[in-house]
Amino acid sequence: MEEQERGRIMEVGPTLRVHRTQLPLLPPSPSAQFTISAPLREEEPRGHRGERRARERETRRPSPRSEPMAALAPAASILVLLALAAASALAPVVSAVPFIVLHGIGDQCGNDGIASFTDELGEWSGSKGYCMEIGRGSRDSWLMPLQDQADVVCKKVKEMKELREGYSIVGLSQGNVIGRAVIEYCDGGPPVKNFISIGGPHAGTASVPLCGSGIFCILVDALIQLEIYSNFVQAHLAPSGYLKIPTDMADYLEGCKFLPKLNNEIPSERNTTYKERFSSLENLVLIMFEDDAVLIPRETAWFGYYPDGAFSPVLPPQETKLYTEDWIGLRTLDEAGRVKFVSVPGGHLRISRSNMKKYIVPYLTSCGSSKQSVRRILSI
């Protein structure tokens, strides 16, 4: 069973230096086949067949009393059909809420992994999914400032007529902070119903993953080695916008251009609109990977982080100032029962299809996260 489940792992994001092996996507399992066989008829003695056929003809001959009832049968059928049609017309029309997918760093919508991820979520949920590309895909995910990336998504969602009545966001890694920026900053955008965050660095990360090999990655890795909170690096290296060194909080609050604003961390600049918009979500699903070696610490996927001034211990989200002082509305959402803290096995963005169905798909369906919905989805 363990081997079978491992074979159904989907590695959604790009292969970073800590994850070199890209697992192939498996085809969906074949659906069960149902065979309905006709009942067997017992053989009877040949001499009795004539008598039986005579009895059957007599039985099929209508009696005088049955003729009026037979005449009424078509009328009754028409009445039943009219009643069903009226009931259908009066029943409320339930339409599935569309969703967008925001990929992580080094990824792009044209990659097989992210394309399959989006398609399968749409197939299982019955909702239409759209992968939102930002600029040149993987390159801009590294080099474009995060606020600029969020502005691109904001413009796109406002232009899409399919999202006008509301939509949900599925974020992957870095895509989650972009998604939150859309929720908090996108003036005049359609309402976001549900936010499903998969391995997101919401409270920051104490380490930036190395890019890899090749000329492009050599340049990116060189930027990482520079002063991370300098204006130059902040303007040219996207992950510098959520790099949070707990022993260097003064420079972080002054020099980091993205996360302090997103998390309402600067006392003199706190914006109640960000809190109001984020706390208006119907559901917030925070998925953390138990063996995550990309996000430092992994609990940042739940808004947990180190205390200011130290690298230990890791504070659970409920003990951080962001939560206790309710800077962005996380506590408000949690106390209303609208936050789901989910822990799944595996490394960064390595999520099984069964856990996709269990923890993501129910929040993309029109019937919400009911137990009946979960059972139906898991049976697919």
Which residues have C-beta within 8 Å of that of residue 138, sequence separation ≥ 6?
Answer: 14, 106, 107, 108
Answer whether the bond into residue 313 is a cis peptide, omega within 30°: yes
Sign for the pseudo-dihedral over CA of 250, 256, 259, 264? positive
Question: Active site includes 173?
Answer: yes
Catalytic residue among 107, 151, 292, 334: 292
Catalytic residue among 19, 103, 202, 348: 348
Question: Active site includes 291?
Answer: no
DSSP β-ladder status, 350-352 and 9-11: antiparallel
Catalytic residue among 125, 138, 173, 197: 173
Q: How far is CA 135 from CA 14, 109, 148, 205, 236, in A?
A: 17, 11, 10, 24, 14
Cα–Cα dist 363/373, whole Å:
9
Question: Active site includes 116?
Answer: no
DSSP for 348-365, please give it.
Answer: TTEEEHHHHHHHTGGGTS
Residue type, 199: G
Cα–Cα dist 228/251, whole Å:
10
Count other C-beta atoms under 10 Å from residue 214's C-beta. Answer: 9
**E-state strands within 33-120:** 99-102
Active site residues: 173, 292, 348
